[in-house]
Amino acid sequence: MAKVAIIGAGSIVFCKTLILDILATDGLEATEFALMAPSTRRTPQVEDFVKRVIEANDLPASVWITTDQREAVRDADYVIATFQVGGIDGFEADYKIPLKYGVDQCIGDTLGPGGIFRALRSIPVMLDLARDMEELCPKAFLLNYVNPMAMVSWALGTTKVPFVGLCHGVQTTMDLISGYVGVPKDEIDFLCAGINHMGWFLKLEHEGRDLYPTLRARFEEPGYYVNEKVRGEVLRHFGYFMTESTGHLAEYVPWFRKNQKALDLYCDEPGFGGESGAYYAFCKYVADKYAGTELLADEPITLPSRSIEYGSYVIEALETGRTFKLNGNVINGGMITNLPADCCAEGPVFVDRTGLHKTIVGDLPPQCAALNLTNINVQRLAVEAALTGDPEHIVHACALDPLSGAVLTLKEIREMATEMLEAEKQWLPQFAGKAIRPTPTIEIPADVERAEVPVDPALAIMARFGELGQ
């Protein structure tokens, strides 16, 4: 019997999906589930539901709950991380404070000020989990679902814990591509690589036929283009299709959310199609609507077909030896040769009984790698801030963030980061007793006399032109 510890099991719907996937897998029916969350506000609902599923389907599985992380992971074979530090309150600060400064986020969980601060909250908790695993289940494999995926997984790379970061962006995008090109998803031969939420489909073929001409032609047709204007624009200008939709992608680049004109032109679809604060509003609505209700009371207890989530397939491969290919988030280490070796990259990996095995993608097209690097630079500084507790690196990360930089001055970015740090300090112990350095505006009197300093070469040239003109 394999033991699976789920850390963050209060995420009811997602936790349910992962558990049902595992129970529906041949060879994993006898799994022991240890469900951990800091409180028992929601986990009893999950436990009760899983017990009913186990009994109704006559499965040799078991489930129990705890608030003790160390108890949950002790002797575990697999650990699944799904937690969200700060909950709705932290998310509210991630969205509303930047908006006050003019930084308009739709999702706010991957990059931008929201993604940076979510990483700052999540990384210390993830490292605590990794330390417990190193001590109590040193051979266990960690499946990370915690966002921001790239930053959290990058930090995990500083530990001894074997891990993979899992997302469903590639699978869902393949559904979309299938619809655009008119070819069943399972018949498309593809290669996708880059970073999480900014992966590039480098190859799209059907029976040896390149599907890109069809896809590019579709995005020149208004009826198709209107569905994904931001992703369509990136395709039209960079040449390759990307894994993220408008709501996400518009936050990772400087072009589509920097002013009202851009928002009206590219991000005018409701909800995750670009609407301001769509993900925060959705999460708050769900939290408020279902507070105190038994969400799983009326859920079917028959085992459904497995979902598109990778988790059960990874465990199946490690447990049974059935090889599984996926797009996973790992420390790059040469997988993508024109991205930094120490960053978290997303690309094709294989899993079997012997572990996880990266493929060698080689170089991305230079324009694709360059766009990835704009995000990697932010990720690097956010991870550095989380690991060192240096609040200045928070400012540096926000300053290099493409969306924040398109909207704000450096002084405004510093003020925004300062306000966010103060609002979220209860979830940021690594910055306890530390503050972002203030940089007040320097007032320049009208009659100020310039200090005698060496003249800037460009100014000297201009002065010389002036002399020549006399």
Distance (Å, rounded) from C-alpha 428 to C-alpha 77?
30
pLDDT tens digits for range 26-42: 999 999 999 999 988 88
Asked if 336 contacts 55 with a C-beta cutoff of 8 angstroms, the reply is: no
Residue 444 domain-assigned (yes or no): no
212 is catalytic: no
Q: What percent of the chain has pLDDT over 70?
A: 97
Report residue 450's pLDDT band, with 50, 70 and 90 as the boundaries: confident
pLDDT digits (tens, 9 = 90+) for 1-11: 899 999 998 88
Q: Is the dihedral of CA 316, 319, 324, 327 positive or negative?
A: positive
| Residue 325 domain flag | yes
User: Is 38 within a domain?
Assistant: no
Residue 1 pLDDT: 81
In a domain, 319, yes or no: yes
Residue at 456 is within a domain: no
75 falls within a domain: no
Query: What are the tens digits of pLDDT across the range 415-434?
Result: 999 999 999 999 999 999 99
What does the pLDDT average to over 355-372?
98
Mode of pairing for the β-strands spanning 209-210 and 324-331: unpaired
In a domain, 196, yes or no: yes
pTM for the structure as a whole: 0.94
**197 labelled catalytic:** no
Q: Residue 455, Cβ neighbours under 10 Å: how many?
A: 11
Q: How many domains does the chain have?
A: 1
Distance CA 209, CA 188 (A): 10
How far is Cα 280 from Cα 93, in angstroms, rounded to an integer? 10
Report pLDDT for 463: 65
Q: Which domain holds residue 387?
A: 88-106+166-293+301-429
337 domain-assigned = yes
**Pick the catalytic residue: 101, 252, 280, 310?**
252
CATH, residue 377: 3.90.110.10
List the catalytic residue out of 168, 206, 224, 225. Answer: 168
